[in-house]
Amino acid sequence: MNDYYGTNNMQTFTTEGGMAPAPKPPKNKNRHGAAKVVALIAAVAVVGGAAGFGGAYLAGRSRLTADIVSGGDTSSTVSDASVPAESAPDESSAPTLNELQSGAVRKEITGVEFNSDGSYMYTRDLVDAVRDSIVYIEASVNYRGTLTPYCTGSGIIISTDGYIVTNAHVTDDMDGFTVTVTTTDPETDTGATKEYEARLIGSDTDTDLAVLKIEAEDLPAAILGDSDKLSLGDDVVVIGNPLGLESSVTKGIVSGLNRQISSNERSLSSIQTDAAINSGNSGGAMFNMYGEVVGVVNEKLINNYAENVGFAITINEAKDVINDLISKGYVTGRPIIGITCLQVSEYVGAIQGMTPGLYVTDIDMSLPVARSGLVVGDTITAVDGTALTSVAELTDILNGKKPGDTVVATVSRTDELGRTRNVDIEIELGEFSGT
């Protein structure tokens, strides 16, 4: 639970919706947390000073518990061999979002009434038309060689051949995904479900977006609308899978526009709504009354003074991110220095006899920094004239820059005779490739 909590002006945001956490099988992954001294500049610099939403997601994935999983079914398992391995997209053949959306059409339902502007007159008709485009996602972790279901979330089908948009915090640290697609019979209003194993195409914690892919045909793809056309007070409908309750519908209004609920400069603006959002709604859709997706649900506000304050990422800003994730597997245009370093504070420097700053332990030879003259053993004491002793300070300096820009690093260098001198080195920034 602590992984997904954060505070902002005494407001608490969570992905877990207040659920008690289930024990998570241990994962054998190497992490660079706050307690670690080693920090990978490449990974941190690209996010512009903050990883993800500062650990402060709101709507969240719903953890699987014994009392509620897909309406009470707790017996589902996924075999280790059934999940395709994640692979980088083939850029030469990757479709564009516009191409994927070409097959998205409004579902025709007999007897539906529309307003004069083309919007649905009744919410029930809108829901009948779009609900099958929202899927149920079950994510698993690899525990002792077996994929074990751990949490659930929601997703939006954006193409008839199985591309699905969800939240990055639904897919983060997960090893396998099962997607349940529901097809509703309009005559009986009953749904037939089919499960697919999904592979992760790309994920971006900065914007909290991810894309999954299942191998399927003729799926009911949602139409992505224009979130810039929203106005305060507009009716919106949220469809997702809160607490594992599939295809749950809530309705509200647009309570706020262009909300920036994160300190991360690269996060996307959000739509605020009073529609009920709970754990497991993450990755689901916010629809306008035309049946178009205008937001990707990802957050809610939880504190003692707030009720029904939820958020969805605006679909207009999400489109470029989705395009990049599909075509490249990462978001383009983000700068990276490309070094691994030790953070040496003033205190540690005094104790260890080291120069305070970032002590370079490794350099990525595939990036421009390899041609800069920076070498392992240098200590970066300042960048562009600003003194620093931490990765966070460096990422603040890199905010607003782009690949190809240059920075001047002041380094402290000790030669073979033990003499120390300061050198200014011009470093061209590379592009972060998501790894």
Q: Which residues have a catalytic role annotated?
A: 169, 208, 282
SS3 83: coil
Q: How far apart, in Å, are the Cα atoms of 276 and each of 144, 279, 400?
A: 38, 10, 35
Closest CA to 316 of 268, 273, 278, 358: 268
- Closest C-alpha among 366, 263, 283 to residue 15: 283
Side chain identity at 259, as an amino acid letter? Answer: R
DSSP H or E run through 46 = none
**∠ Cα 230 278 23 (to 5°):** 145
Nearest to 164 by CA among 175, 178, 174, 151: 178
Residues in the chain: 435
Q: Are 208 and 298 in contact (CB under 8 A)?
A: yes
Q: Which two tokens stand for residue 217?
A: 């045909």
Tokens coding 188: 């009986």
Strand stretches in 94-168, DSSP E:
134-143, 146-157, 163-166
Q: Burial level of 224, CB count in 10 A (0-12/13-18/19+)?
A: buried
112 Cβ partners below 8 Å, 6+ apart?
A: 120, 122, 125, 128, 129
As a whole number of angstroms, the distance between CA 220 and CA 199 comes to 19
Q: Tell me if 253 sits within 8 A of 234, measured CB to CB.
A: yes
- 338: which residues sit within 8 A by CB, 6+ positions away? 41, 42, 363, 364, 366, 367, 368, 369, 370, 430
